[in-house]
Chains A and B, each alone.
Chain A
Amino acid sequence: MSLLAHELRLFLRQRIALPTLILMALLSAAAVFSGIAEVRRQNEIIARIQPQQAEDVSAVRAWVSKDGDAGSAAYYTFHATWDTPAPLAFAALGQRDVAPYVLRVRALALESQIHEGENYNPEMALPGRFDWAFVLTYLAPLFLIALLHDLHSSEREARRMDALQVMARSPLGLWMRRIGLRVGLLFAAIALPFAAGAAWSGAGLLDALIILALALAYLLFWAAIALLVAGWRMGSVANAATLAASWLALTLILPALALLAINAAFPVRQGVELTLAQREAVHGGWDKAKEATMQAFFRHHPEWRDTTPVAGGFHWKWYFAFHHLGDLSVADQINAYRNGLEARDRWTRWLGLLLPAVGVQVATHRLADTDLAAQLAYQDRIRSFHGELRRFYYPYLFNDVPFREADFAKAPRWARSPF
């Protein structure tokens, strides 16, 4: 222990040591702080929309309930959905700045609603967010390089190396102590703010520990690289340059090349194709024989088969039937699109096993529930909610039940998020 205390004294006496650690801790704390502020803002928005949404619904209720037309109720009422940030979202804000986390849907065809985007400033999103995952992935290795690049070489350059090796009881122990001390202190600088943030946000202990373990493993990876480079016995300067070049390759160049490869390997133009096709299918519904449309619809919803046939020029149940058939007609494309997106995500995860920077990003964003998978999961919840909405309105439409004021409150409500 006294050996370690001695090493600590030696280390802190270095000019670069304390400023590096303090700066790391400050950056980590700032990132945690800004992440928490962003998550709080998102929660506030989710809370803020509730009364606005209620007011919007009540305005529709005011005029629809006069003649009780269920079709108008289904057509004009929007239903809010939202995706509450997970407790760990503060650490890795991920895709939540470019994908909506609040979205309103109607019982109309879903495919023309679910891909809607959010109002955000793309120039602000372009550089990426300043969050804890960024500090860990990009900055921490640079700080570690600053602390470790001259561990061996400076002793050699100061011609103390031989004396050190002779005097140390165990040379291996000496270097392990020195490296362990630096990695440990840097880890503390980056981990403590995160731990405080995680505790503040009420994150699960296990998830937080996994992230901390990953962070430590990531730092150890970079320490191993530093050791490897030190083994080549170059000067401090060459060490630093080599390590910085490795950092450049591992965190910027290779991920960018991988993105090119993955996006080229899995094109996802089905997104546009399916919306174009869905529109044709939905609007084609106006020109098809009503009976054929209804029969096609009954194949998916046989429970309404025995209701009164559609007569005359227009009936809401026919309208909602062909809207739903429009969605169903592009089911294959939806699957293909989804598969394309998932393949991109899957290959990124595989890549994460090779490139630690990608691996850390993938894992933190997964645990923070802010990655593509989280976005798709939100869409899945919207899809099932939309199904509930349709099934809520169908009895009114198919049984010709008037939709009264009290019925608005019976509509399915977006369930609270799992967090």
Chain B
Amino acid sequence: MSRVTRIAAHEWRTMRRSRVAQLAVLMLIVLSVVAALTAIAQRNNSDALRDRFQAQADQEFEGQPARHPHRMVHYGHFVFRPLPALAAFDPGVDAFTGSTIFLEGHRQNSANFGDVRQSSLLARFGQLTPAFVLQVLAPLVLIFVGFGAVSRERESGTLRLLAAHGATARNLVGGKALALGGVAALMLAPALAALLWLVVAQGAPGLPALGLALAYVAYLAMWVLIVIIVSSFAHHARTALMALLGIWAMTTILVPRIAPDVAVGLAPLPTRLETDIAIQRDLRKIGDSHNPDDPHFAAFKARVLKQYGVRRVEDLPLNYRGLLAMEGEALTSRLFDDYASRQFTEQRRQGGIAISFGLFSPAIALRSLSMALAGTDLEGHRRFLQQAEAYRFDIVQRLNRLQAEAVTYDDDSNRNKDPEAGRRVRIDAEHWHEVPDFVYRGAGINEKLSAAFPGAVVLLLWLAGSAIAIRLAARRLGEALS
């Protein structure tokens, strides 16, 4: 091994003498530090802001005066998606998904105020985060530093000199890879320090953070191998550089843009407007609450009357209007869930198609893996949407139940004609306090790992492929030397 380390040490000295290499590595480290600091500050600010908005919304909900419960159904509630601590490392799709949803009866609103819609086109150039620096920029710096590692020696004839001193091609390739790996480690340092800081000081979960660290180590290790492989095969340093630049542009810039276009083309999603209309259409088919002779609601009425053994809704011990509201909400909510799960299925299909492009682009695999572990992937947003919908249904039904239990049918029917009844249907504000606050449950470790799995498999394939290819490269180089 000592020969390998000697070659590595020599390569290090050569690289340290190269101004371009020095500058590139230094620039990357500075960018990495800047990215880490700003991303941490930004995530803390956004999270604090969302927290404050959530507290304000909770307070406003509880501070509502005495009201008819159905007024509260329409007053609704706002929920905000908290940002996980690891979003400071990889914010993932956070900017693309709205962070707040308005929850109300009968309707399912979208999550709004995502940063991308609120930003100029610059947002589409990419955000400077530790993840972006490592995914996109670090490989390029490795290319700048390492393209000549073997090819330059080959070009200048020093390769044979080394061989004459007894170095085998394997020693040589190993030593060069080790040296470039050292550069990669240097570039990883700020991001890993940021991860450690997030775990220690910001309460980020340890295991996913470790997974992230390992994934980026594997990714950069793979790039180190690719650079050395190409450098070994190329007869000229320039060929190596151009080939590597081509590979980089293809795998990190071009394919990641083509993959989603193909996925969206193969599995298109219906627009929100069409989904809205479709839900209304289905709802009319099940039961039209505006139609007094509707069979569904007629059957519902008969069922309720039978259950309480009375003949008229006026004789029910509960306010029939509240019961009707609960039934209506249950119907719409079931449709919302149906359509949402169809949409999620399509989105997963898109994700599956996109990740299969990871075979042409390790960046796609790493991005997916990284977002999944950080909890900032589509699954994270989906979890928020589902929990928000469940919460919406829960509070709306609580309020409907209040209408059924705390408001009499008589008062409810006469609330607009009789001012006294109108006063009585406004039930005590105490009731709003009984509605629990929204608590978002982030992804657990198992959910994160299973979401990260496909990306991890593809990334490992790339790493394994590179490990095999570097052996081939060493053999070819050995043949050239002998």
Per-residue contact bits, chain A 202-246, to B (CB 8 Å; 1 contact, 0 not): 000000000000000000000000000000000011101110110
B271 in contact with A45 (CB, 8 Å): yes
Per-residue contact bits, chain A 105-130, to B (CB 8 Å; 1 contact, 0 not): 00000001001111111111111111
Q: Which 10 A-B pairs have the closest CB atoms?
A: A313-B416, A122-B96, A348-B120, A122-B93, A124-B260, A255-B125, A256-B128, A117-B110, A130-B257, A259-B122
B354 in contact with A124 (CB, 8 Å): yes
Q: Does A176 contact B (CB under 8 A)?
A: no
Residue of A nearest to B140 (CB): A248
User: How many Å lie between the Cα of A75 and that of B114 in the bound state?
Assistant: 28
Task: Given A95-B117, A287-B65, A372-B121, decide whether A240 and B245 contact each other with a Cβ distance below 8 A.
Answer: yes
We find that the number of chain B residues with CB closer than 8 angstroms to chain A is 103
A59 in contact with B119 (CB, 8 Å): no
Q: Does A286 contact B (CB under 8 A)?
A: yes
A252 in contact with B137 (CB, 8 Å): yes
Give the chain A neighbours of B242 by CB distance below 8 A.
Answer: 16, 146, 240
Interface residues, chain B, with chain A CB atoms under 8 Å away: 20, 24, 31, 34, 38, 42, 49, 53, 56-57, 60, 64-65, 67, 71, 74-76, 78, 92-93, 96-98, 100, 102, 109-128, 132, 136-137, 140, 144, 147-148, 237-238, 241-242, 245, 249, 253-254, 256-261, 263-265, 268-278, 280-281, 284, 288, 290-291, 343, 347, 350-351, 354, 367-368, 371, 377-378, 381, 415-417, 419, 422
Q: Does A269 contact B (CB under 8 A)?
A: yes
Task: Given A138-B253, A237-B238, decide whether A262 and B120 contact each other with a Cβ distance below 8 A.
Answer: yes
A371 in contact with B120 (CB, 8 Å): yes
28 CB < 8 A contacts A-B: A38-B261, A41-B268, A49-B274, A52-B274, A56-B280, A94-B121, A102-B271, A117-B110, A117-B117, A121-B264, A123-B347, A123-B378, A128-B124, A128-B126, A130-B254, A139-B254, A245-B20, A256-B126, A259-B123, A275-B102, A279-B102, A312-B417, A313-B416, A347-B120, A361-B124, A362-B121, A365-B121, A371-B121
Residue of A nearest to B280 (CB): A56
User: How many Å lie between the Cα of A45 and that of B56 in the bound state?
Assistant: 39
Task: Given A252-B126, A276-B60, decide whether A48 and B422 contact each other with a Cβ distance below 8 A.
Answer: no
Give the chain B neighbours of A358 by CB distance below 8 A.
Answer: 121-122, 125
Residue of B nearest to A23 (CB): B246
Q: Does A388 contact B (CB under 8 A)?
A: no
Chain A residues touching B, majority SS: helix
User: How many Å lie between the Cα of A194 and that of B288 in the bound state?
Assistant: 52
Per-residue contact bits, chain A 9-45, to B (CB 8 Å; 1 contact, 0 not): 0000000100000000001000000100110010001
Name the one of B34, B263, B271, B354 contacting A100, with C-beta atoms under 8 angstroms.
Answer: B271
Give the chain B neighbours of A251 by CB distance below 8 A.
Answer: 125
Q: How far is the CB of B245 from chain A (nearest CB, A)?
A: 6
A263 in contact with B257 (CB, 8 Å): no
User: How many Å lie between the Cα of A240 and that of B260 in the bound state?
Assistant: 31
B78 in contact with A276 (CB, 8 Å): yes
Name the one of A55, A150, A345, A357 contacting B238, with C-beta atoms under 8 angstroms.
Answer: A150
User: How many Å lie between the Cα of A341 and that of B114 in the bound state?
Assistant: 13
User: How many Å lie between the Cα of A302 and that of B114 in the bound state?
Assistant: 38
B137 in contact with A253 (CB, 8 Å): yes
Task: Given A139-B249, A312-B416, decide whether A268 and B118 contact each other with a Cβ distance below 8 A.
Answer: yes
Q: Does A283 contact B (CB under 8 A)?
A: yes
User: How many Å lie between the Cα of A98 and that of B260 in the bound state?
Assistant: 13
Task: Given A95-B121, A286-B71, A341-B118, decide whether A123 and B241 contact each other with a Cβ distance below 8 A.
Answer: no
A348 in contact with B93 (CB, 8 Å): no
Name the one of B110, B117, B253, B350 contacting A139, with C-beta atoms under 8 angstroms.
Answer: B253
Give the chain B neighbours of A129 by CB distance below 8 A.
Answer: 257, 261
Q: How far is the CB of B126 from chain A (nearest CB, A)?
A: 5
Q: Does A258 contact B (CB under 8 A)?
A: yes
B96 in contact with A126 (CB, 8 Å): yes
Give the chain A neighbours of B371 by CB distance below 8 A.
Answer: 123
Residue of B nearest to A48 (CB): B274
Q: How far is the CB of A309 from chain B (nearest CB, A)?
A: 16
A104 in contact with B276 (CB, 8 Å): yes
Give the chain A neighbours of B96 by CB distance below 8 A.
Answer: 98, 122, 125-126
Give the chain B neighbours of A252 by CB distance below 8 A.
Answer: 125-126, 136-137
Q: Which of A281-302 contact B (CB under 8 A)?
A: 283, 286-287
Name the one of A98, A128, A314 contacting B117, with C-beta atoms under 8 angstroms.
Answer: A98
User: How many Å lie between the Cα of A360 and that of B125 in the bound state?
Assistant: 12
Residue of A nearest to B19 (CB): A238
Give the chain A neighbours of B115 by CB distance below 8 A.
Answer: 263
Task: Given A102-B273, A244-B245, decide whether A259 and B53 contact each other with a Cβ distance below 8 A.
Answer: no
| Residue among B118, B237, B260, B415 facing the most chain A CB atoms (10 A cut-off) | B118
User: How many Å lie between the Cα of A134 and that of B20 in the bound state?
Assistant: 28
Residue of B nearest to A34 (CB): B261
User: How many Å lie between the Cα of A116 and that of B102 in the bound state?
Assistant: 10
Extra pairs beyond A275-B112, A351-B122 (13, CB < 8 Å): A52-B278, A63-B290, A119-B271, A119-B275, A121-B378, A126-B367, A129-B261, A139-B249, A252-B125, A255-B126, A271-B113, A276-B56, A313-B419
Task: Given A116-B110, A127-B260, A259-B122, decide whether A236 and B273 contact each other with a Cβ distance below 8 A.
Answer: no
B381 in contact with A122 (CB, 8 Å): yes
Task: Given A37-B265, A139-B254, decide whether A348 and B122 contact each other with a Cβ distance below 8 A.
Answer: yes
User: How many Å lie between the Cα of A256 and that of B136 in the bound state?
Assistant: 12
A119 in contact with B343 (CB, 8 Å): yes
Residue of A nearest to B257 (CB): A130
Give the chain B neighbours of A259 by CB distance below 8 A.
Answer: 119, 122-123, 125, 127-128
Residue of A nearest to B74 (CB): A283
Task: Given A63-B288, A117-B114, decide whether A313 and B417 contact each other with a Cβ distance below 8 A.
Answer: yes
Residue of A nearest to B60 (CB): A280
Q: How far is the CB of B37 from chain A (nearest CB, A)?
A: 11
Q: How far is the CB of B23 from chain A (nearest CB, A)?
A: 8
Q: Does A188 contact B (CB under 8 A)?
A: no
